[in-house]
Structure 1
Amino acid sequence: MENYKGLTEEQAKENIKKYGFNEIKEKRVPTFVLFLKKFWGPIPWLLEFTGILTFLLKKYPDAAAIFVLLIFNGLVSFWHELSAQNALELLKKHLSIKAKVLRDGVWKEIDAKYITIDDIVLLQSGFAVPADVEILEGAISVDQSSITGESLPKSLKPKDTAYMGSFVVRGEAIGRVINIGENTFFGKSAKLVQEAKTKTQLEVVVFELVKYLFLFGVFLIIILLGLSISRGFYLGNVLPVLVVMLLPIIPAALPAAFTLSTALGAKELAKNGVLTTKLSAIESAASMDILCTDKTGTITKNKITVDKILPLGNFQEKDVICYAALASDPKQKDPIEEAIFNYLKDDCYKIEKEDFEAFDPSKKYSTAKIKKDNEEIYIFKGSPKVAPIENEKQENLYKEMASMGLRVLAVWIEKNNKKELVGFIGFSDPPREDSKELIERIRGLGVDVKMITGDTKETAKHIASLVGIEGDVCEAKDIKETCGVFAGVLPEDKFKIVKTYQKMGHTVGMTGDGINDAPALKQADFGIAVSNATDVAKAAASVVLTD
């Protein structure tokens, strides 16, 4: 280990002054301002104009009724928007963690809020990454499924970056803080949640209807005004009549009727396990023609399983999985090793081990030593890149498995100083049992389903073929109508995809379950959080499936 000194407390204070705290700054609008904004916009203008006009004509009961409708609409809208702000609050809670930092040459545990640029931090198994950190020394495996959408842990070595919000599942490393707060990969998601805003279909429909009715009324008034002038009528007597004629044309009760009907609809949906957090979402669902869906945890189970076992030479499938289990630790909560033990049909792995080394991200394998028939056997489980692959045929076998979207591990043994490849195991995050049927039903309703994932093109294409999603496999920089799958996307890419399709004239729905889905869920016309979603995703969505 190198002799790191870290920042001094004085240097840390200077950096905090320069770069700010390691937190997400919220552009908080005062509650009374938020309430007043409910009376500014096309629909409120309609009611305000009609109410003032009615009042000036001394129709006081009618004017009072219109202003009651105005306040009713404002209160309902205000209440729902206030509850929607929970998304950002929940994102901020993910920053409420402790971190080990080197200050004045001494390791200290501090609130992550006070970490700053160039701090030296210690990343350990079981702890969250407190900022974007460049690895300087050591190796770790991190679970970053809630950030990037990748379902499998990722191994990081020196010069790689560990993102804020990810979780260290194995190993230990020392790193340097390179980004904090809003500038982190995680912070960008929070910033996008604040920026996400879309016009509701209700606003568009009501405004268009009122606009044409109003223009029709003005047209009639111009004709009648022209006739009155041509026949010499006194304008002072004619104008009040024309204004009174205009009032019935303006549907003053229409916004309130929409609000009431959608509220009743939300009540019925709640009985069927659909919790509505944004009333306009009910109307948006009816006009939705594109549904963007996250892969991990939505289409798939977000649970790693053994998909394929490929034995080599004289070995059988049982040999491959048993040796893999012996080179694993059932006490570890590693998803790959859990999948191996879940697949086992017997207790062949319960041979006493003379020695065991857990998976080392720097070596890319785990190892165990057993004695069988008075013979010492060393067992290895790890990356095919460090396995004793003897020929091109064996190399092509694991590459073919990888092209199917599988995460491939090799298993090999060493006896009498001779290494021998036992076989390969392919892991996947399989689709839910009902995913294919549900996608077919959605497409039958005229809705185009598009899958969005942070995984590779190979994995995305494989899962899409299993659940019946058609179309090109695209990247976020190449958004087209023909795209059915988007692979390798970041949280801001999901937001961009939803927004681009909205600009193309589509009513867009989005389903998701992770922090990385929150910006897109909030931007979508119809954001759907599944039952096992994070609190952040649920708060950003329009509806939450509770069953």
Structure 2
Amino acid sequence: MTKLHDSPQQQVHDQGVDEVLTALSSSSGGLSAAEAKARAAQYGANALPQAPGPSLFYRFFKHFHDTLIYVLLFAAAVTTLLGHWLDTAVILAVVVINAIIGFIQEGKAEQALAGIRQMLSVHANVCRDGQWQQLPANELVPGDIVKLRSGDRVPADLRMLETTELRVEESALTGESMPVSKQTAPVAADAPLGDRSCLAFSGTLVTSGRGIAVVTAIGAATEIGQINTLLSDVQSLETPLTKQMNQFGRYLALAIAMLTLLMLAIGLLVHQYAPADIFLAAIGFAVAAIPEGLPAILTITLALGVKQMAGRNAITRPFKCGSNTGCSYRNLFG
């Protein structure tokens, strides 16, 4: 059997229809049920793999790893030793609420992966044993022949065999919101993704027309599967803003510690206050000086700024991409 296209780097857009079918050991009549079963065992299900993420326990408690939070926890420990349980409870409540806010915000960011998986089709019209039938999309294998109609979501990466006024919306991959016309003729080998008009990509939406195509890639081997893999493997990087915030937090914690010690020294040596009273006053000063709501305030401020930009249509997107000229951009600033 000819090796199937199990990698997105293997090109089919520069090959004719007959060449692609031959390479996939398929035909216009589709695969047999036995052959489809064998290929399913070889290539697995047509689904995006989900990498194991950090546990909820880790995601929650990592929000306590902050210089200012350490100062608050130290203050809570001191008030506990002094027997001021109400003060301890208030300080710990502030710390926990801050961690909960960060945990919720992080959870919203991780919804990106779930959003990509929801783009995949649930069912597909497949030709098996010469008969058209509707099957779960996760049962598709390379070489399957599928039918597309208006309103369908493309179930896998496909090479078009027949098209009738077929147009597909591919903004999730190319950023172009206008539907793209599909045809069967091969295109240049170096054509960019947006110019590969003989291909249809998993997760995109058929807006009009109909067509018949052969499956060339499934699951993680599809173009949208590559995006899913990149998102799963992304490493957290410190931006200049977060670096400045962390540096500010360290400087602020140092300044608060020095002022607290100065307050203790003056209270004990100059005014000769009782140690318990001056310790409690110093702890109150330290807790009041720490802006524990600063991360939440910063996030809300940035979100409001983005909302105002969106309200003014301050959006830049590619509207024309060519293999030789690259992409042109349209500024939609109102």
Q: Deviations over 1:84-105 (max 9, x none)?
A: 5444334323324311223344
Q: Classify 1:137/1:285 alpha carbon distance in 2 versus 1 (closer, same or farther; 3 Å).
A: closer
Residue of structure 2 in register with 1:163 after alignment: 201
Once residues 58 and 203 of structure 1 are traced to their aligned partners in structure 2, the CA distance between those partners, rounded to angstroms, is 37
Once residues 235 and 169 of structure 2 are traced to their aligned partners in structure 1, the CA distance between those partners, rounded to angstroms, is 23
- Give the aligned residue type for 1:284: L
Q: Classify 1:124/1:12 alpha carbon distance in 2 versus 1 (closer, same or farther; 3 Å).
A: same
Bigger RCO of structures 1 and 2 (CA < 8 A, at least 6 apart): 2
What secondary structure is seen at the aligned counterpart in 2 of 1:156? coil
Is the counterpart of residue 211 in structure 1 residue 250 in structure 2? yes
Q: Classify 1:251/1:129 alpha carbon distance in 2 versus 1 (closer, same or farther; 3 Å).
A: same
Once residues 288 and 42 of structure 2 are traced to their aligned partners in structure 1, the CA distance between those partners, rounded to angstroms, is 55
Residue of structure 2 in register with 1:408 after alignment: none
**Residue 217 of structure 2 is aligned with which of 169, 179, 184?**
179
**Residue 180 of structure 2 is aligned with which of 153, 169, 178?**
153
Alignment map for 1:462-473 (pairs within 5 Å): 463-464=330-331
Is the counterpart of residue 254 in structure 1 residue 280 in structure 2? no
Q: Kindly indicate whether the alpha-carbon contact (under 8 Å) linking 2:67 and 2:253 is maintained by their aligned counterparts in 1.
A: no
- TM-score scaled by structure 2? 0.63
Q: Deviations over 1:15-36 (max 9, x none)?
A: 3344332222334555444433
**Residue 9 of structure 1 is aligned with which of 19, 30, 33?**
33
Is the counterpart of residue 119 in structure 1 residue 156 in structure 2? no
Residue of structure 1 in register with 2:300 after alignment: 282
Bigger fraction of residues in strand? 1
Displacement after TM superposition at 1:130 (Å): 0.8
Once residues 125 and 285 of structure 1 are traced to their aligned partners in structure 2, the CA distance between those partners, rounded to angstroms, is 37
Once residues 169 and 208 of structure 1 are traced to their aligned partners in structure 2, the CA distance between those partners, rounded to angstroms, is 51
Displacement after TM superposition at 1:109 (Å): 1.4
Q: Kindly indicate whether the alpha-carbon contact (under 8 Å) linking 1:142 and 1:156 is maintained by their aligned counterparts in 2.
A: no
- Unaligned ranges ≥5, structure 1: 225-237, 263-279, 294-434, 440-448, 470-547
Q: Kindly indicate whether the alpha-carbon contact (under 8 Å) linking 1:100 and 1:108 is maintained by their aligned counterparts in 2.
A: yes
Once residues 468 and 121 of structure 1 are traced to their aligned partners in structure 2, the CA distance between those partners, rounded to angstroms, is 42
Once residues 144 and 60 of structure 2 are traced to their aligned partners in structure 1, the CA distance between those partners, rounded to angstroms, is 42
What secondary structure is seen at the aligned counterpart in 1 of 2:320? coil
What secondary structure is seen at the aligned counterpart in 2 of 1:157? coil
**Residue 21 of structure 1 is aligned with which of 42, 45, 57?**
45
- TM-score scaled by structure 1? 0.42
Q: Classify 1:287/1:197 alpha carbon distance in 2 versus 1 (closer, same or farther; 3 Å).
A: farther
Displacement after TM superposition at 1:68 (Å): 0.9
Alignment map for 1:501-520 (pairs within 5 Å): none
Alignment map for 1:222-237 (pairs within 5 Å): none
Q: Percent identity?
A: 25
Once residues 52 and 158 of structure 1 are traced to their aligned partners in structure 2, the CA distance between those partners, rounded to angstroms, is 73
Q: Classify 1:196/1:455 alpha carbon distance in 2 versus 1 (closer, same or farther; 3 Å).
A: farther
Q: Deviations over 1:285-326 (max 9, x none)?
A: 5788xx7x8xxxxxxxxxxxxxxxxxxxxxxxxxxxxxxxxx
- Give the aligned residue type for 2:318: T
- Give the aligned residue type for 1:55: T
RMSD over equivalenced CA pairs, Å: 4.7
Once residues 82 and 46 of structure 1 are traced to their aligned partners in structure 2, the CA distance between those partners, rounded to angstroms, is 26
Once residues 243 and 13 of structure 1 are traced to their aligned partners in structure 2, the CA distance between those partners, rounded to angstroms, is 73
Q: Kindly indicate whether the alpha-carbon contact (under 8 Å) linking 2:317 and 2:329 is maintained by their aligned counterparts in 1.
A: no
Q: Deviations over 1:146-205 (max 9, x none)?
A: 322321432221442111122334554433222222332233444455548676999656
Q: Kindly indicate whether the alpha-carbon contact (under 8 Å) linking 1:133 and 1:161 is maintained by their aligned counterparts in 2.
A: yes
Residue of structure 1 in register with 2:12 after alignment: none
What secondary structure is seen at the aligned counterpart in 1 of 2:292? helix
Q: Deviations over 1:340-384 (max 9, x none)?
A: xxxxxxxxxxxxxxxxxxxxxxxxxxxxxxxxxxxxxxxxxxxxx
Q: Kindly indicate whether the alpha-carbon contact (under 8 Å) linking 1:54 and 1:63 is maintained by their aligned counterparts in 2.
A: yes
Once residues 56 and 38 of structure 1 are traced to their aligned partners in structure 2, the CA distance between those partners, rounded to angstroms, is 25
Once residues 18 and 247 of structure 1 are traced to their aligned partners in structure 2, the CA distance between those partners, rounded to angstroms, is 65
Q: Kindly indicate whether the alpha-carbon contact (under 8 Å) linking 1:135 and 1:162 is maintained by their aligned counterparts in 2.
A: yes
Is the counterpart of residue 72 in structure 1 residue 97 in structure 2? yes
Once residues 138 and 69 of structure 2 are traced to their aligned partners in structure 1, the CA distance between those partners, rounded to angstroms, is 42
Q: Classify 1:246/1:62 alpha carbon distance in 2 versus 1 (closer, same or farther; 3 Å).
A: closer
Q: Classify 1:64/1:244 alpha carbon distance in 2 versus 1 (closer, same or farther; 3 Å).
A: same
**Residue 73 of structure 2 is aligned with which of 22, 25, 48?**
48
Alignment map for 1:308-387 (pairs within 5 Å): none
Once residues 204 and 38 of structure 2 are traced to their aligned partners in structure 1, the CA distance between those partners, rounded to angstroms, is 27
- Give the aligned residue type for 1:111: P
- Give the aligned residue type for 1:161: L
Once residues 96 and 260 of structure 2 are traced to their aligned partners in structure 1, the CA distance between those partners, rounded to angstroms, is 30
Moved more, 27-36 or 215-224: 215-224
Once residues 333 and 242 of structure 2 are traced to their aligned partners in structure 1, the CA distance between those partners, rounded to angstroms, is 35
Is the counterpart of residue 456 in structure 1 residue 321 in structure 2? yes
Q: Classify 1:210/1:201 alpha carbon distance in 2 versus 1 (closer, same or farther; 3 Å).
A: same
Once residues 300 and 206 of structure 2 are traced to their aligned partners in structure 1, the CA distance between those partners, rounded to angstroms, is 40
- Give the aligned residue type for 2:317: I
Displacement after TM superposition at 1:211 (Å): 0.8
Moved more, 35-44 or 102-111: 35-44
Residue of structure 1 in register with 2:166 after alignment: 141
Displacement after TM superposition at 1:69 (Å): 0.6
Q: Classify 1:70/1:201 alpha carbon distance in 2 versus 1 (closer, same or farther; 3 Å).
A: farther
